[in-house]
Chains A and B, each alone.
Chain A
């Protein structure tokens, strides 16, 4: 007999509710549709021996358990040399006030050799960085046709201007975008519709070696929960059009909101032609910055229903994305949280409010014990519907000593869309989805130009994971590379609508999304077994703002559409 006679109902309620969640997870498994051919899995790993990507992330894990050690890092698909083939950028840890690796560590730029292999061109390109890196955001901020690279770091971030000859120049000081502090994700987007890409940089917490808190778990040094660190405002930089930026964090209203920001996506949530920002915060309320024009944002996350979990308490938001997952013409939101919080799929109610559809879609049950970082909606099988890929891993390397049902390394998750809702197909998607990783960043890009979007996942303190998409074979597609002229060069905020027989779909080109990562800028429009795209409409963002309609479109290849100039084929 125990000495304390407590009410078992009270004592076990939490456990009971968790168990209910588990039951729902099991129920979800039974409902999975047979969407995958038994003989083929949708993604296969491309080993370093095949890709020649031999670079490895080093977290520099120490006995002091400095928090940045467990949070990085990001990755990107970009075509830095404009040859029509996606190259890869990978972010590493490096020298900072608590870490001085010998020999020094660096980031890596891998050029695509167009044969499935990559060559490390970091030294020649001059983009090794060397600080304690976190994320990467790619955007052509000066509109010269070559993508530039912004590397977020703990300490000071870096803007690399692409010189167009295979090299880059660090222009951070001149540009005024060093963003001192602990920066995480960043996003290029044109908030004032002047045709130039501005820059939003997430900041995490007030942190330095001196401010590192010593935490313990079961008498072992452990990483502290971010709750213990002070929140801080993020940065918004306005592009002046002359290679410099102005810090408008204060005048825009961004600065007065203190958060612990990890992920950010720029999207238009009320279809007013102005790009809004959804920011995932860790242990503080998420932010939904609605762009009201004139350089001002209103923060409405709580009113909109995306600030908190159902318990009325902030969750640990990390990765984010935005897509019109239910094809109603309004952009929805996704945020990944930590274990026992479930991730949220926020469906847009068309009135600046959202309802969490994690329950009905099975996302909630599948993610009950997971901690999510990189993620992206994309149509991996080119059937015309937006699917969802998630990279997971608990940030705490001692979690298994405290939680029986949670693991430090976690599996990837794949959800397939039937056009109405999502289905968890991870269990049927091959061995890659049964292995566990400390996954962090995730970028989507078609590195072999076969129209099937591939995935790269950055893994904390390990080699990245490159996944070739084999799921789209047999389905047709059209790849679109948008080039703005009056609008921003990357056409962030453009909306493509297309019709292929009975299939009508709409896609917005959002800015950012995922976690610390940057995606292939091209959009792949899957049309399933249909053999023709009847028409395609591009609504360019302001200040262009025109809508152009195209017919007589090719399929199964990439094309470039230049604002006001029509279709240009990409060199094969």
Chain B
């Protein structure tokens, strides 16, 4: 909200665009934008919503769209807000300004919805879930765990909560000595409630892989891919586990799928290149290694996410 106030105030003294279009819709759109930029949002919003999709001048269309989003946000008009965001993202899909405004708009929508949930149904399961997620994000692991266990105490078969609890146990710093076993138990309980939870199968696969139990990893990753045929990380886990088992021929298909689903992931290309190389497909391997290097470069170059230390020149 504050952002819009500043932006609107700044625009007051800005000369209006000197377009000389004769089209009626253009002049109406310019009028609507001017109204918005001079603080008359209530009057401007219906005009902006109406004009946004039909203005042919791209610059004016973007101006109308952005002004409309700001006004809708200010007035908390959810319907027009979503319409205007759709129009803006359809016509200006990679525009940084549009993306920035979109982030803030959805964030405000999210905040408003969360507030309403907390106010209207504070003891409901969704409200507890929301609270737990927020606590997780803020690193309040104990509070989050309490929230999840509270849900389960009252609704032992509520789907998704055992999975989230397992994830929390695996994510929290300084875990207890048996946290992996505890997490596994929660994941297995989740699968008893919801046998279609691909995420639970995937995490069980990762746990098995970390424990060097590759047959078990293969079993869980395979199940995850069956449950969710678009689960790229599960195909990758499956392929890498098969590579470790020296089942190079078997690793090719899941790694090819992983690459297809996530062509920007260097790990998938690396795994596939290795599988090709070990099955005698040297040319295919070289091609995948080249793609792997390109993908790694796209991610910001070697070690971009390495927390070694200072990374940015002044």
Q: Which residues of A contact B (CB under 8 A)?
A: 1-6, 8-9, 11-12, 15-17, 19-24, 26-27, 213-217, 222-225, 227-228, 283-285, 302-303, 305, 308, 310-316, 338-341, 353, 355, 359-360, 371, 394-396, 398-399, 402-406
Within the complex, which residue of B108, B115, B175, B271 is in contact with A1, where a contact is CB–CB below 8 Å? B115
Q: Which of B209-256 contact A (CB under 8 A)?
A: 210-212, 240, 244, 246
Known: A12-B167, A20-B206, A312-B271. A5 touches B306 (CB 8 A): no
Q: Is the CB of A8 within 8 A of B313?
A: no
Known: A1-B114, A1-B134. A20 touches B207 (CB 8 A): yes
Cα distance, A24 to B244, chains bound together (Å): 17
Q: Which A-chain residue is minimally distant from B177 (CB atoms)?
A: A26
10 cross-chain pairs, A with B, having the tightest CB-CB distances, nearest first: A312-B270, A312-B266, A396-B309, A222-B310, A217-B310, A215-B310, A314-B302, A283-B302, A5-B110, A312-B267
Q: Is the CB of A1 within 8 A of B313?
A: no
Cα distance, A399 to B246, chains bound together (Å): 38
Q: Is the CB of A340 within 8 A of B307?
A: yes
Within the complex, which residue of B170, B246, B267 is in contact with A310, where a contact is CB–CB below 8 Å? B267
Binds A, one of B50-58, B67-75, B149-157, B289-297: B289-297
Q: Is the CB of A339 within 8 A of B211?
A: no
A-chain residues with CB within 8 Å of residue B171 when the two chains form the complex: 12, 15-16, 19
Known: A16-B167, A303-B285, A312-B268. A399 touches B308 (CB 8 A): yes
Cα distance, A16 to B206, chains bound together (Å): 10
Chain A min CB distance to B282 (Å):
7
- Counting CB contacts under 8 A, is B9 at the interface? no
Within the complex, which residue of A16, A341, A405 is in contact with B306, where a contact is CB–CB below 8 Å? A341
Q: Is the CB of B306 within 8 A of A303?
A: no
B-chain residues with CB within 8 Å of residue A21 when the two chains form the complex: 210
B-chain residues with CB within 8 Å of residue A225 when the two chains form the complex: 303, 306, 308-311
- Counting CB contacts under 8 A, is B42 at the interface? no
Q: Which B-chain residue is minimally distant from A398 (CB atoms)?
A: B309
Binds A, one of B19-27, B94-102, B273-281: B273-281
Q: Which A-chain residue is minimally distant from B296 (CB atoms)?
A: A313
Kindly state the interface size class of chain B when it binds its partner.
35 or more
B-chain residues with CB within 8 Å of residue A313 when the two chains form the complex: 266-267, 296, 299, 302-303
Q: Which B-chain residue is minimally distant from A401 (CB atoms)?
A: B309
Number of contacts between A and B (CB, 8 Å)? 169
Q: Which B-chain residue is minimally distant from A224 (CB atoms)?
A: B310
Chain A min CB distance to B7 (Å):
18
Within the complex, which residue of A17, A303, A396 is in contact with B277, where a contact is CB–CB below 8 Å? A303
Q: Which A-chain residue is minimally distant from B246 (CB atoms)?
A: A355
Cα distance, A24 to B277, chains bound together (Å): 30
Q: Which B-chain residue is minimally distant from A399 (CB atoms)?
A: B309
Cα distance, A317 to B267, chains bound together (Å): 18
Cα distance, A417 to B112, chains bound together (Å): 60
Chain B min CB distance to A173 (Å):
36
- Counting CB contacts under 8 A, is B133 at the interface? yes
Known: A5-B114, A19-B170, A20-B170. A215 touches B313 (CB 8 A): yes
- Counting CB contacts under 8 A, is B138 at the interface? yes
CB 8 Å contact bits of B136-172 with A (1 = contact, 0 = none): 1110000000000000000000000000100100111
Chain B min CB distance to A484 (Å):
37
Within the complex, which residue of B170, B172, B310 is in contact with A396, where a contact is CB–CB below 8 Å? B310
Q: Which B-chain residue is minimally distant from A405 (CB atoms)?
A: B173
Within the complex, which residue of A26, A310, A395 is in contact with B308, where a contact is CB–CB below 8 Å? A395
Residue pairs across A and B with Cβ atoms less than 8 A apart, 16 shown, are A12-B136, A19-B175, A21-B210, A24-B210, A24-B211, A227-B311, A284-B302, A302-B273, A311-B266, A312-B271, A312-B292, A313-B302, A339-B308, A359-B210, A394-B308, A395-B308
Q: Is the CB of A224 within 8 A of B266?
A: no
A-chain residues with CB within 8 Å of residue B289 when the two chains form the complex: 302-303
A-chain residues with CB within 8 Å of residue B28 when the two chains form the complex: none
Q: Is the CB of B211 within 8 A of A312?
A: no
Q: Is the CB of B212 within 8 A of A359?
A: yes
Cα distance, A158 to B266, chains bound together (Å): 41
B-chain residues with CB within 8 Å of residue A9 when the two chains form the complex: 167, 199
Cα distance, A310 to B296, chains bound together (Å): 12
B-chain residues with CB within 8 Å of residue A3 when the two chains form the complex: 107-108, 110-111
Cα distance, A26 to B211, chains bound together (Å): 11
Q: Is the CB of A1 within 8 A of B111?
A: yes
Q: Is the CB of B138 within 8 A of A2?
A: yes
B-chain residues with CB within 8 Å of residue A26 when the two chains form the complex: 177
Q: Which B-chain residue is minimally distant from A228 (CB atoms)?
A: B313
Q: Is the CB of B179 within 8 A of A23?
A: yes
Q: Which of B257-276 contact A (CB under 8 A)?
A: 265-271, 273-274
Cα distance, A339 to B111, chains bound together (Å): 37
B-chain residues with CB within 8 Å of residue A395 when the two chains form the complex: 308-309
Q: Is the CB of B244 within 8 A of A222?
A: no
Q: Is the CB of B309 within 8 A of A223?
A: yes
B-chain residues with CB within 8 Å of residue A22 when the two chains form the complex: 175
Q: Is the CB of A312 within 8 A of B303?
A: no
Known: A19-B170, A23-B180, A316-B306. A308 touches B292 (CB 8 A): yes
Q: Which B-chain residue is minimally distant from A304 (CB atoms)?
A: B277
Within the complex, which residue of A20, A215, A340 is in contact with B210, where a contact is CB–CB below 8 Å? A20
Cα distance, A308 to B292, chains bound together (Å): 10
Chain B min CB distance to A298 (Å):
13
Give the most central of B179, B286, B306: most A CB within 10 Å.
Answer: B306
Give the most central of A8, A305, A371: most B CB within 10 Å.
Answer: A8
Q: Is the CB of A312 within 8 A of B114?
A: no
Cα distance, A338 to B309, chains bound together (Å): 11
Q: Is the CB of A227 within 8 A of B110?
A: no
Q: Which B-chain residue is minimally distant from A214 (CB atoms)?
A: B314
Chain A min CB distance to B248 (Å):
10
Chain A min CB distance to B43 (Å):
29
Cα distance, A565 to B296, chains bound together (Å): 55
B-chain residues with CB within 8 Å of residue A339 when the two chains form the complex: 307-308
Cα distance, A6 to B133, chains bound together (Å): 9
Q: Which A-chain residue is minimally distant from B270 (CB atoms)?
A: A312
Cα distance, A21 to B285, chains bound together (Å): 29
Chain B min CB distance to A396 (Å):
3
A-chain residues with CB within 8 Å of residue B292 when the two chains form the complex: 308, 312
Q: Is the CB of A311 within 8 A of B307?
A: no
Within the complex, which residue of B301, B309, B313 is in contact with A402, where a contact is CB–CB below 8 Å? B309
Q: Which of B180-195 contact A (CB under 8 A)?
A: 180
- Counting CB contacts under 8 A, is B312 at the interface? yes
